[in-house]
Structure 1
Amino acid sequence: MKGNLPTFLNASHAAPAAVYMLLALSTLCIFNMIYAVQPLPFLDEIFHIPQAEKYCRGLFREWDPKITTLPGLYLLSVGVLMPLSTVLRIDVCGTYALRMTNVFACFANFYIIHNIQKRLYPERRDLDSSLQDLLSAVNLTIFPVLYFFTFLYYTDVIATGLILLTYLLQLDGRTLLAPLTAFIAVVVRQTNIVWVAFIAFLSISHVLKLHVIQCNSRLSPKVVRSAKYLQVLLDTLLRTWNRGFTSRAQLANNILYSSAGFIVVGLCFLGFVLWNGGLVVGDRSAHQAVFNIPQIFYFSLFLVIFSSPYIVGCVKQVLVSVIKHWKLVLVLMIGCIIIIHFSTYVHPYLLADNRHYTFYVWKRLYESHFLMKYLLIPVYIFSAFSVNQLIKETDMTFQIGYFTFISLCLVPQKLLEFRYFIVPFLMLRLHICLKAWWQLIAEFILFFCINASTVYLFMTRTFYWSDSEEVQRFLW
């Protein structure tokens, strides 16, 4: 065993370095190929890049009213590029450099994801598990919807990275740094407040879990992962309340210590919403909140595709669960039919912009036949049972929180947009316990093929609109 230790240590350091270099080189290669064919701002970049360039020139009071997000992305970019311009004595704040900030954010995301996995599964310390975690981190870094926007100046890569960093810091118990990165995440994208709230929820849940374990020394991991834990938690809280002021104050102090920073971020966000008169800055006409429950259904179909290597491994258990709970399935099917019939929203952007994949998904899948949106209901239900199976090894509080906060994130959105699914997918995937190499390899192949196809289509399958001379390209 001792003789193998140096070999393990060398492999544990050399493998991440080698993988990191391969990821960096391939990403930079793709970045330069995309820049070569599309050096000018494309799609939403026509708003983001000029705004960032104004900030680089110190014009912080000038704002494009068509931009709907807070200026966090531009401030972070300027914070990096302005000092660099000063050192190099040239203006580097152009399309190339602004896009490059997302490339470095992509590299940072790999590091963050890898370390989150280490915190979530500290028992996975042998060489085989470490290599699995490394490949898993690569897979999540190149998750197609996220990875593609590494090559354009969009908010997704940095906004997602900040949420992941906040989660990592929360797992490490950094009660000051985690709220700070959470605040920056919200300034980059307002809807990140949902995931900040989720992380705060997990932080409080962890405090309560430690309190329950302290009061119930025989509490097993199996109970913590089952509905029985909720009853144990309630009983423990009632006992704590009955013990008097000291016990209550100590528990309240522990909860406040872990969540005070997140509460401050929440209060600041509430103040912003009240001052701004809403969540969206700039043009609000296309971003009205609705009650769009079918968004959960679309996300479930998305999950079936991108989680397929893991869903395949639990099909038998899912089918057994579906048969066992057939009455629930019947109720869910009836509910889905009613919801789809009476509350399906179609955003004008979805039908107007044929550059996005969602345009073709909607046209060729949901509008191909009037019954198609109902025929997909079994897939939605299968996906719901599959997700439940995939995260059954997490705490019950995580399971409840996950389903609650994905609803808060997706249901108010009228537009079907795959980018809204990035953080919900990553949060699910991070909590899937890895067991089989074939699943990781299949996932890598799936993501690699989708990325290759997406980049190929963007670079080569160009087209033109009748009312514009600018080249158009396909993208997420």
Structure 2
Amino acid sequence: MLVFTDAIKTTAQVSYPVYWSWNEKITTPPGTYILAMSAFCGRERWLNSVLWPLGFVGAIRFRRLFTQSQLTSTAVLVMYLPVLMQSSLLFYTDLCSLITVLWALSFSNALTSALFFSFSVLTRQTNIVWAAAYGIYHLFRQIDPHCSKVIYVTIVSSLLRLSPLALLGGAFVLFFILNDYSIVLGDHSAHHPTAHFMQLYYLLVFMCFSAAPYMLLSGNVLRAVRTFLCRPLRSLMWCVCITLCVYAFTMDHPYLLADNRHFTFYIWRWWFHRHWACKYILVPLYVIAAEAIAQSISHVARSVVIIYVVATAAVLVPARLLEPRYFIIPFVLWRLSVREKRFGIVVLELIYQVCVNSLVLYLFLDKPFEWVTEPGVKQRFMW
């Protein structure tokens, strides 16, 4: 069974209160483990098998907020995202976290959304940011700046409608205070908040890589390259700004270089640590990726894009660790909002996802290795 020992031990500990304890290696709340214990204890892998269809429906619901085209195919596509797929095969919290966020965002009723967001926070603390984004969007959506006489009445009535989310926010603040002013459970020392702005640029590359067929065949990348070349002053300005960001905010986490099971270990070792200049070579790529992503959602309201960018930054920037699983929700929300009516591109993208998933699964199953410090214990490649 493809599960993680630490997660299973935690589930067992949560399942039996008489043996209640917390594994310090687990830094997220036990929402997924609590959900698994009642019907799936001992068969935890089944939980994600049951959750996957709910994620598919949630993806369709969320996509309907932006377009009616390619609902089913795009929902299948995002659920086959390689990082999400492997974490779903293992006993990770990512699938449950994604599902609850998708369902919460797809409801217009604040109480229903607050219930889904409440459970989403029990699977991953940073999901409180998406709850805040939802509340801010619906608050400003009700305000008409041209009606200054009733604007205060509108704000008050909107806040009352959003009171379930306010209660959730208040509960989270209380948790933050009681948890020694930290959102991290378990080992706090390895997860201090920091200003890791490079996470946003890593996300852009991740998005372009994960949706490569769409980005290439839709013409977004080509248009982005053309914009980069045809507007040299603008491009130079962005390159200078990002170069300064690379210089000041490129950082590695102790976990990143200590665990050679993860693909990010090899990316960092083979590229970023190869030569001091390697990290700067990617600056034009960051600019082009940002332009391509921006073009892909040019139809989305600017207010929604701003809220999305700010929320994504609030989730990613404080995290020092480069972890592809942190990119799952930002990627899925972006990809579901993209309008692509050509079914052939979606099919090619799905084939691409299947190929990447097959390669990852092959490395995981057929290429195990052992650490000198743990002879006889098989270690496996993963995201």
**What TM-score does the superposition give when structure 1 sets the normalisation length?**
0.76
Q: Deviations over 1:3-28 (max 9, x none)?
A: xxxxxxxxxxxxxxxxxxxxxxxxxx
Aligned to 2:167: 264
Q: 1:307 aligns with which of 211, 215, 235?
A: 211
Structure 1 gaps, min length 5: 1-34, 82-91, 212-236
Q: Give the structure 2 partner of residue 187 of structure 1.
A: 122
Residue 303 (structure 2) aligns with: 397
2:290 maps to 384
- Structure ID, larger Rg: 1
The one of the two structures with greater contact order (alpha-carbon pairs below 8 A, sep at least 6) is 2
Residue 416 of structure 1 aligns to a residue in which SS?
coil
User: What residue is the counterpart of 2:151 in the other structure?
Assistant: 248
Match of 1:369 in 2: 275
Match of 2:244 in 1: 338
Q: Out of 271, 277, 280, which is 2:184 matched to?
A: 280
Deviations 1:359-394 (A, max 9, x none): 111111222232111011011000111111011100
For 1:441, give the aligned amino acid: V
Task: Specify which structure has the higher proportion of helix.
Answer: 1
Show the counterpart of 2:195: 291
Please report how far the alpha carbon of residue 257 of structure 1 lies from its aligned counterpart in structure 2 after TM superposition: 4.1
2:52 aligned residue: 106
Kept in 1: contact 2:61–2:103 (CA 8 A): no
Aligned Cα RMSD in Å? 1.8
Query: What secondary structure, in the 3-state scheme, does the structure 2 residue paired with 1:464 have?
Result: strand
Partner of 2:147, secondary structure, is helix
Q: What is the match of residue 474 of structure 1?
A: 381
Q: What is the rounded CA distance, in whole Å, between the counterparts of 1:160 and 1:59 in structure 2? A: 31
Aligned to 2:73: 135
Deviation at 1:240, TM superposition (A): 2.1
- 1:150·1:157 contact (CA, 8 Å) conserved in 2? yes
Structure 2: gaps (5+ residues)? none
Mapped pair 1:77 → 2:15: no
Aligned positions, number: 379
TM-score (norm 2): 0.94
How many Å separate the matches in 2 of 1:60 and 1:270? 28
**How far off is 1:308 after superposition?**
2.0
* Residues 13, 19 of structure 2: 8 Å contact kept: yes
Task: Give yes or no for the alignment of 1:68 onto 2:16.
Answer: no
Residue type matched to 1:52 in 2? Answer: T
Aligned-residue offset at 1:345: 1.0
- Contact 1:294–1:344 (CA under 8 A) maintained in structure 2: yes
Q: What are the equivalent positions in structure 2 for 1:82-93 lying under 5 Å apart?
A: 93=41
Report SS of the residue matched to 1:59.
helix
Q: Deviations over 1:174-212 (max 9, x none)?
A: 22111011011111111111222222233224334xx4x
- The verdict on how the C-alpha distance between 1:257 and 1:459 changes in structure 2, with shifts beyond 3 A counting, is same
Distance in 2, matches of 1:258 and 1:332, equals 41
Query: Equivalent of 1:198, from 133, 153, 157?
Result: 133
Report whether the alignment pairs 1:178 with 2:109.
Answer: no
Deviation, 1:284, is 0.8
Distance, in Å, in 2 between the alignment partners of 1:59 and 1:156 is: 28
Of 69-78 and 410-419, more deviation after overlay is shown by 69-78
CA distance in 1, matches of 2:312, 2:61: 23
Distance verdict in 2 for CA 1:325–1:59, change over 3 Å: farther
TM-superposed CA distance for 1:325, in Å, is 4.4
